[in-house]
Amino acid sequence: MNYRTLGRTGLTVSEIGLGSEYFAKQTVEAGVALVNAATGAGVNYFDLFNPEPHVRDVFGIAMQGRRGEFIMQAHLCSAWIDGQYKRTRDMDQVKAAFTDLMTRLKTDYIDVGMVHYVDEQKDFDQVFGGPVIEFAKEQKAAGHIRHIGMSTHNPRVAIQAVKSGLIDVIMFSINPAYDILPPNEDINVMFDKASYETVLANIDPERQELYSLCESQGVAITVMKPYGGGSLLSAEASPFGAAMSVAQCLHYCLTRPGVATVLAGAVNKEELMEAVAYCDASDAEKDYAKLLSSCPAHPFTDKCMYCGHCAPCTAGIDIASVNKFADLCQAQRMVPETVREHYNVLSVKASACVKCGQCETRCPFGVKIVEHMQKAVDIFGE
Ligand code: SF4
Ligand code: SF4
């Protein structure tokens, strides 16, 4: 297992985390066995959004006697009312669900208290201007929540949450298919097949801005839906008209700026191990560049995907890193100090480019690298 820092929280998390999407349909025993298999494989980051009481019990049992081995991202505002899931902003329900969460987890703290599912602007305004965020802040002050997070599918809302300075972690849906879609408040409209008929190729600028903002501000992204609900794994269902592998999907997410961990959903131990195997996969197995640059529909072009295929540079420039740092600045229309520091650490700067053009012949996305190097010089001054 590989580990990364969860942004400014400073926590060390496994690159592959476990989402609890499929736990609701499992018995407590099967759930505990799956969690144990995950920790045995080095997974230490878990998302718990489920309101179903028995799923909370699964984690309470699995964590007993070894709370420190788990970094729990558990959701606020996800309640179990009259035997049904309900996303709620009713404070009586929010508080009761939180008490139930802590009781069933048998713990006195959760690492990331994730405000659940904020996609609409109106909802965001109410959550961040009302009692929900105040409750989260109170719980943080009391030590019951170590860090506040928010889950969303809407980059426009996510950007506002990051800019609020109140959250340290954002749970966001990332995969190459969602990345080409413009923001929408309605998840059903956004992820509908018809939405792909009108969009252009390449990453939506607001999503790019979100990733850049998160990286420069130290707000960690934890990824949900890395396989697009499974559609990306099938040529028939994928909007690209070509199937990606699990390793390619995970690698795509983990090469986006700001991403700390990907929450892989797993029905059973086999699916979990397929995701964990990413850490031992070869570069060729993880490589998504060829597929995305040549897929039958929506090919990505002239946009650096940080894949590294252009290496080696004649002058020794780390082209993918230079492009990434320049993109971070362009997305935010400024040069954040943290990004400048990262650029300064590069041993060879973009100004060393001798315009030989060798790299451009190797780039599968047709990026005009010589122009990009000049742009980086304009941004960073060297
Ligand atoms: S310039 Fe092209 S080959 Fe190089 S990292 Fe970017 S997308 Fe990959
Ligand atoms: S064109 Fe510039 S960036 Fe590309 S290989 Fe040559 S020196 Fe390196």
Phi and psi angles of residue 128, each rounded to the nearest 5 degrees, phi first? -85, -10
Q: Does any ligand 2 atom lie closer than 6 A to the CB of residue 101?
A: no
List of domains in the chain = 3-284 (3.20.20.100), 319-380 (no CATH)
**Largest Cα–Cα distance of the chain, in whole Å?**
68
Instruction: Characterize the bridge pairing of strands 110-115 and 71-76.
Output: parallel
What are the pLDDT digits (tens) for 156-196? 999 999 999 999 999 998 888 777 766 665 666 655 665 55
> Residue 30: helix, strand or coil by DSSP?
helix
Q: If you ran DSSP here, which 8-state letter would residue 50 be given?
A: -
212 has pLDDT over 70:
yes
208 has pLDDT over 80:
yes
Q: What percent of the chain has pLDDT over 70?
A: 91
Q: How confident is the model at residue 1 (pLDDT cuts 50, 70, 90)?
A: very high
Ligand 1 geometric centre to CA of 289 (Å)? 9
Closest-CA residue, ligand 1 atom 2, reads 363
| Nearest ligand 2 atom, CA 357 | 1
If we measure between CA atoms, which residue out of 259, 265, 184, 251 comes closest to residue 223?
A: 259
Q: Does any ligand 2 atom lie closer than 6 A to the CB of residue 369?
A: yes
pLDDT score, position 59: 95
Count of helix runs (H) and strand runs (E) in the chain: 17, 12
Ligand 2 geometric centre to CA of 373 (Å)? 8
What are the pLDDT digits (tens) for 60-119? 999 999 999 999 999 999 888 888 888 899 999 999 999 999 999 999 999 999 999 998
**Across 356-368, average pLDDT:** 87
